[in-house]
Structures are given as C-alpha cells and as structure tokens.
Amino acid sequence: MAELFAASLFIAGYAAIALERRLFVNKAAASLVLGALLWVVASVSLPGLEARAALREVSVDIFDLMVFLLTAMTLVEILIHYHFFDLIERWLRSRPWTQRRLAWAIAAIAFIFSGFLDNLTTTIVGIQIARRMFVDHLRLVMGALVVIAANAGGAFSPIGDVTTLMLWFAHKFTAETVLLQGFLPSLALALVASALMLRRVSTRPCTADCAPVSVPLLMSRSDRTIIMATLGSFLLPLLAAGLHLPAYFGLIAGLGAVWLLIDVLKRARPQPTHLQADIKKFFQQTDLESIQFFLGILLAVGALHALGVLDAATHWLLGAVPSAGRIIISFIGLGVGSAVVDNVPLTAAAISTLESVPGPLWVLLTLMVGTGGSLLAIGSAAGVIAMGMLPELTFGKYLKLATVPAAAGFAAAILVWLLQYMLFIA
C-alpha cells in the first residue's frame, strides 16, 4: 500500500513540476517538497531505522554531486566575469568566414565546450554569441542548433552533463570508458544534425549580414592568467579520479587556487581592473535553483528506491535477469522519453535498480537521455533556456527547425554506438 501511495505521490509531484508555468509553481520548490514527503512516507513505512540508514546512503551520493555542481558553476561565473566568452566572439569575427562556416564553428564550439562546462552554461554562452552575430531566421536556426550541439557534447564527457556526473559518481563507468565509447556517437549526432540544419545557410561573407560588433574589449595580462587558471581547473576532476579521490575534490582545489591567485594579483596590481570583483559575488550568481531542483528529485528517487518501487518497476519491464538486448531497447526508450520527462529522474531510477549492467551499456544510457531531450524544445533545460533567450524560438518553431535533424542525429548516434558495441565489445 505504501509503495502504491509513494508512486502516486511521485507522479502527482512530477506533474506539478512539468506544469510549473501553468500552475505558477516553482519546480525547485515542488521537487524539494516531493522529496521530503516521500521520505516521510518511507520513514513511516519501513521498520526500525531502515529509512534513516537509506537516507544516509543516498545523501553521500547527493553531496558529491551538489558540491561538484556548485563549484563548477562558480568557476563558470569567473570565466564570464573575465570576458572569456567575449574573447571567443572576437576571435570568430576576426576570421574571413562565410555565414555557413561561421555557423559550423559556433556549433563546434558548443559541442567542445559542453564537454568540460555543463551543457546548460554552454547553451547560454553559445546563444549569446550567436544572437550577437546573426539576425532574423538564421539566429533561430543557430539557437536550436546550439541546444543540440551542447547536449551532444555533454553526453560524452564525465563532467559534461548532470546525468554523466551521476553515472560517473555511481561508478557505472570510468572517465576513460565514457570518453572513448561516447565521443564518436555524440560527434555523429552533432554532425548529422548540423549538416541538415545548415545546408541552406548562405555561403556569402558574414561581414554584410551579421549583427554589428559589440563594445571594444580591454583585457590585461592578469585577466588572461586567471582565465587560463580557471580553464585548467576543469581538468582537475580527471586527475583526482586518477588518484582515487572524489571528482569534486579536483574542482574544489582548482577553485581555491584561482581564488588565491585573484587575491595575489589584486595586491600586485592595485589599480582598478576586473580583479577588483569580490569572488564571493560569484557564489551568489550561481544557479542555485537548478541545484535545489536536482536535490529534490534525487531525494525523491532515493525514497522510491528505499520503498522498493523502482525495483518492482524494473522487474516488470525487464524481467528478473534482463538480457543485454532488452536493456539496450529500454535505454533507447528512456532516451526518447527524455524528450518529455526530465533525464535526471530517469537516470537516477536506472542507477538505483540496475546493478550488473556493464559500462558500455551505461554509456548508451547517458548518450540517450543526454541527447533525447533535444528532440523537443521542452525536453532539456538547454532547450527551455534557449526559448527564454530567443522569444521567437517557440515550441512550434523549434519543432519545425530542429526536431527532424535532432531525430536523425539521435538515430546516427545509436547506429555508431551499436557498431562500436558489436565490433569491439560484444
């Protein structure tokens, strides 16, 4: 009875999250309330101190993820403050490229950057650059393409997406596994979608048709030093993993080093520069609402696992001993489902219930749920952000511009992964 009540409560809570705009309910608040209520149900239903022990186990994994996200977001805010992304825009403008080649370059930048920045931040930055450089219809095309490229790039890196972080922290695959086995499928997705979306883009020089340049940018050697140190910090989680330390340890060390560097350079260069910014403001500018949303969802899924709801659902879908074929089909189905359901609870449910799944299949899951959200504008946080930054990019406009290319890329990623699996793994 408690299991049925908890499942019903989760469905109702998630419906409130999905309909937040119509119900005027903040999704972070709804997820936190949902997580808390489900653990109350678990505490009442489970004997003795089982609920407390289960909550303690879930909290360790949540702590790792929350610290990593908070630290990574702070480092991104530092890059924004020191105009790193403005530098990229000016570099692009300095190239004598056609519109089509410039569009390909922005898509490539979104794909590459989302491998070490999160795909949401990459989408924000990519659209900021695209809307400064393109106008009218091409601006909308680029906004949709940045979403697809950023989601694809985040799926092959252990730190590129929340779902890859979750799977990496749960020891479902190593950093080397997801990089080696996820890169080619992700690249195939990005290339196919980009080719389909940009095939009609003009090959004329961009100088006459692009948006005008923004204000001049002045940058000191100290600013550049801090940018390089901040970018280097994103490589430290891989080093920490090699030393058998938690991945967030590397980012914490990198943030501390950058913070000290800023303080030292402030004293060495007392004249007014970007160095005068208070780094504590960067903490305040991080997207705490998204972190709280993830916290509530992970708590809710953890409660469902403690109550046995997820185990029952998995047994019903896959059987007692699921075959590799059924798992592959199920993971592809989860990817399609992530176009309408957030990928975080889908991934958390899979982690909680599937134990003896080999690493390559987990790579498929992160590819599917990380990129399936690109099929619809509402399927990923990146798509929702894009619609907010480009009001003309409505749900229907995205459907017309990007859904078919995204679906073709999604199919290409599946094909490439299956070829890899059959040739080198199975």
Per-residue pLDDT tens listing for the chain (426 residues): 777 888 888 888 877 776 766 777 777 788 888 888 988 888 888 877 788 888 887 787 788 878 877 887 788 788 888 888 778 878 887 777 788 888 899 999 999 988 877 777 788 888 888 887 887 788 899 999 999 999 999 899 888 888 888 888 888 888 889 999 999 999 999 999 999 999 877 666 665 445 555 555 667 788 888 888 988 888 888 788 778 788 788 889 998 999 888 888 877 665 555 545 566 666 666 667 777 877 887 788 788 878 877 777 666 666 656 778 888 888 898 888 888 766 777 787 788 777 778 888 999 999 998 898 889 876 777 887 787 778 788 878 888 999 999 999 999 999 999 999 988 776
Q: How many residues are present in the chain?
A: 426
**Cβ(2)–Cβ(38) below 8 Å:** no
Q: Would 353 be classed as within a structural domain?
A: yes
- Tell whether 264 is covered by a domain: yes
**Phi/psi of residue 322, each to 5°?**
-65, 140
Distance CA 402, CA 116 (A): 24
Distance CA 39, CA 125 (A): 38
| DSSP letter (8 states) at residue 205 | B
Cβ(58)–Cβ(310) under 8 Å?
no
Q: Containing domain of residue 227, as a range?
A: 53-425
In a domain, 330, yes or no: yes
Q: Is residue 34 included in any domain, yes or no?
A: no
The pTM for the full model equals 0.77
Q: Report the pLDDT value the prediction gives residue 276, as an integer from 0 to 100.
A: 53
Which of 9, 15, 66, 61 lies closest to 40, judged by CA? 9
Q: Determine, yes or no, domain membership for 43.
A: no
**DSSP 8-class letter at 407:** H
* Residue 207, in any domain of the structure: yes
What pLDDT shows up at residue 208?
A: 47
Query: Is the separation of the CB atoms in 139 and 96 below 8 Å?
Result: no
Query: Which residue intervals of 46-83 are DSSP H helices?
Result: 50-81
Q: Note the Cα 67 to chain centre separation in Å.
A: 15
In a domain, 46, yes or no: no
The whole-angstrom distance between residue 375's C-alpha and the CA centroid of its chain comes to: 15
- pLDDT attached to residue 62: 80
Q: Please report whether residue 167 resides in a domain.
A: yes
Structural domain tally of the chain?
1
